[in-house]
A and B are shown apart, each in its own frame.
Chain A
Amino acid sequence: MNKENVIINIEHLSKSFGDKKVLDDINFYINRGEFITFLGPSGCGKTTMLRIIAGFLNADSGRVTMDGNDLNGVPPHKRPLNTVFQRYALFPHLDVYDNVAFGLKLKKMPDDEIATKVSKALKLVSMTDYEDRDVNSLSGGQQQRIAIARALVNQPKVLLLDEPLAALDLKMRKDMQIELKEMHEKLGITFIYVTHDQEEALTLSDTIVVMNEGKIQQIGTPTDIYNEPVNSFVADFIGESNILNGTMIEDRKVNFIGHDFDCVDEGFGENVPVDVVVRPEDIYILSNLDAAQFVGTVQTCIFKGVHYEMTVLTDEGFELMIQDYNSFEVGSKVGFLIKPNDIQVMKKERTCNTFEGEMTSEESVEILGVEFDCGVREGLEKGDKVKVEVDFNKIDLQDNLDEGETNGSISFILYKGNHYHITVRTEEGFKVYVDTNDIWDKNDIVGIKIAPADMRITKISE
């Protein structure tokens, strides 16, 4: 990185609320003049990060520097940055002019100078002639413009925007996106933007920081992130995608949905389990079955305005989503083709559940904070520290909480063509990964059951 160009640098930033780790050792930098977006689902830590940069929250550890100066302990009113808040936070007792002039008046700027600056700022957001209006009488979009003008009039080096368009309707949101982009180009200052809307992030940003559960998943340009997601979370969160289990047979050859495909990825090794991502628009449908790599049947077909979105069932029993400009009749037999370039292979983060635990007797083990029956284990005794491995599909989720040894709530669901890959977070905060054909909803509370025979227990030698 070019030091000259960096405006904000974030090192080892961590923050917890109670037991919950909201930011976990975050490191990255922001370039001068960049439009950078923190993107992630609610609760991923993106807003917390913004609030730490703005100075409304203190990090537990780590530091934020701006132009080389440590911002730690600098109160918000002394930081050279301004914020556009989620629900605008305009002062309802002040009119438009006084809202925009608020910061300048605090600086004791002469009145005529304030007047010039305010009208310039209002012009920038196309709100000239609204000076005397009561802010409560403005529409959501107009309030948003005033909030932006109120921040920009102070000429901050960095503008922070906390989901500024979330409360607007779709049409207004699209218009404002274009205006924000133009404003950014015109002003040349750094914009830090927070959103959970992936489309908004892709449209606006120079750089996207994808976050989940307090960690940065991927940093990159919109194209990088869309075309080369580094893991299944990013692939699933950004755009539509088919995420499938596969095996890297050798360099440039991957097997998934029961077929071998040529691809462009190398260096994974031989016969290594991987995740494969194929975007719905990258699967070509052919009525000519002979030329196809694999065949299947059209299950549903919905017109989406520009393209058709279809779900198809391959003869091997995998369900795929496909987008195409042509429609195919439901029930018809079709062939498919995927180009090597369009197959994105990702290293699997894990291939089975691994829990650390301790034997509580010869036939029981404590993992996930509770005791599980594990059958008689030769060579292990009470007090032994052990590693317990359980395959994803060997964990049984129960509607009836009493039937599980422990319970948890479903925090993430990924469809993998012929089964669901589910992340369950237990009450004690452990994560359990499950492959299942049952359909669950996010936040469902489930009982977790593991059959004794399905635990692979090995002693950890110290």
Chain B
Amino acid sequence: MNGKKLISKTYLALILFILYAPIVFIAVFSFTEAKSLGNWTGFTLNLYKSLFTGATPSSASLIAALKSTLIVAVIASAISTFLGTLAAIGIYNLHGRRKTAIKLLNNIPMLNPDIITGVSLFLLFVFLHVSKGYVTVILAHITFCTPYVVLNVLPKLAQMNPNIYEAALDLGATPGQALRKVMIPQLSPGMISGFILAFTMSLDDFAVTYFTAGSSGLETLSTYIYADARKGGLTPELKPLMTIIFLVILAVLLFVNIRTFKKTKDKTV
């Protein structure tokens, strides 16, 4: 038994080591100034300084890319959360063939590889003669983010007492009031996790942005890195940026999970 445990732990540790090696590698070398990785030229925070001040041309455009990434992600995930929550309530109250059809439709963007989503939306905007830029990128991000919100809100609806909405109406709430005062507070955990998921999907996206940003000059982090990699160089300030992003995500995930963990614990007491 103990041997089995030891082997399991070692195995997990090994895989985790491989998973995190590149991240740690980048994080370590974000504190030195050498151009090429693996070349330690002494500890310095210069890259961080340069990232925050935008002192070099490359760091300035990196910051611009970061900004547009965040703008797209915030707007797209906010709209996705709204649209997806409404849709989830609708789907939950549908029955039979219509429900199956909508759920199938909801699955399509999740099952489509990014490149298909990107290409198809590219053709749509070409077909409709819409000039590419923020609007097209945000619309595209809403398209692949909303299904995840729907999937996160639906289970919360299933857990909810089906009479709660009706109870609010019964006590004199209009449908709008019932939604605001009763449904949304109940659904908020699902909406929050849906929002976070949509936000990270948007941050992480490359292929869809690549096809829908066109030559508008709009760069997100992904397209910036891609262009960077094609040129064969790595903007040095990417290293501190990635380290910071990793720490932020780590903190957010730990916070969310500890909170839900605490909540479930509270209920069992």
The interface of chain A, by Cβ under 8 A from chain B, is 54-56, 75-78, 82-83, 85-93, 102-103, 106-107, 136, 150-151, 154
* Interface size bracket, B side: 20 to 34
Complex CA distance for A54 and B170, rounded to whole angstroms = 7
B163, B182, B186: the one within 8 Å of A85 (CB): B163
Q: Which of A76, A87, A151, A154 is B161 in contact with, Cβ under 8 Å?
A: A87
Does B42 touch A at the CB level, under 8 Å?
no
A399 nearest CB across to chain B (Å): 32
Which of chain A's residues have a CB closer than 8 A to the CB of B163?
85-87, 89
Q: Are A107 and B172 in contact (CB under 8 A)?
A: yes
How far is A136 from B186 in the complex, measured between Cα atoms in Å?
A: 13
- Consensus secondary structure, chain B interface: helix
Report yes or no: A103 in contact with B185, Cβ–Cβ below 8 A: no
- Residues A76 and B170 in contact in the complex (CB < 8 Å), given A89-B164, A136-B267: yes
Q: A54, A88, A89, A154: which has the most chain B beta carbons within 10 Å?
A: A89
CA distance A104 to B242 in the complex (A): 52
Q: Is A93 within 8 A of B185, CB to CB? A: yes
Q: Is B107 an interface residue (CB 8 A)?
A: no
> Is A77 within 8 A of B161, CB to CB?
no
- Determine the distance from Cα of A339 to Cα of B182 in the docked complex, in whole angstroms: 60
Q: Are B173 and A106 in contact (CB under 8 A)?
A: yes
Q: Is B204 an interface residue, CB under 8 A from the partner?
A: no
Say whether B235 faces chain A, with CB atoms less than 8 Å apart. Answer: no
**5 contacting pairs across A/B (C-beta < 8 A):** A54-B170, A83-B167, A87-B163, A90-B167, A91-B168
| CB of B228 within 8 Å of the partner chain | no
Q: What residues of chain A lie closer than 8 Å to B267, measured between beta carbons?
A: 136
Closest partner residue, chain A, to B167 (CB atom)? A89
Given A89-B164, A93-B185, residue A82 in contact with residue B171 (CB < 8 A): yes
B170 touches which of A82, A88, A92, A107 (Cβ 8 Å): A82
- Which of A56, A86, A106 contacts B171, CB < 8 Å? A106
Q: Which residues of B contact A83 (CB under 8 A)?
A: 166-167, 170
Q: Which residues of B lie under 8 Å from residue A154 when comparing CB positions?
A: 171-172
Residues of B with C-beta under 8 A to A75: 169, 174-175
Q: B269 to nearest A CB, angstroms?
A: 9
Smallest beta-carbon distance A108→chain B, Å? 11
Report B159 CB to chain A, min CB distance, Å: 10
* CA of A78 to CA of B175, assembled, Å: 11
Give 13 new A-B contacts, CB below 8 A, not counting A75-B174, A78-B172, A88-B161. A75-B169, A76-B169, A77-B173, A77-B178, A82-B171, A83-B166, A85-B163, A87-B163, A90-B167, A91-B186, A93-B185, A93-B186, A102-B173
How far, in whole Å, are A9 and B220 apart by their CA atoms in the complex? 66
What residues of A have a CB within 8 angstroms of the CB of B174 in the complex? Answer: 75, 77
| Chain B 226-269 near chain A by CB (<8 Å), digits 1 or 0 | 00000000000000000000000000000000000000000100
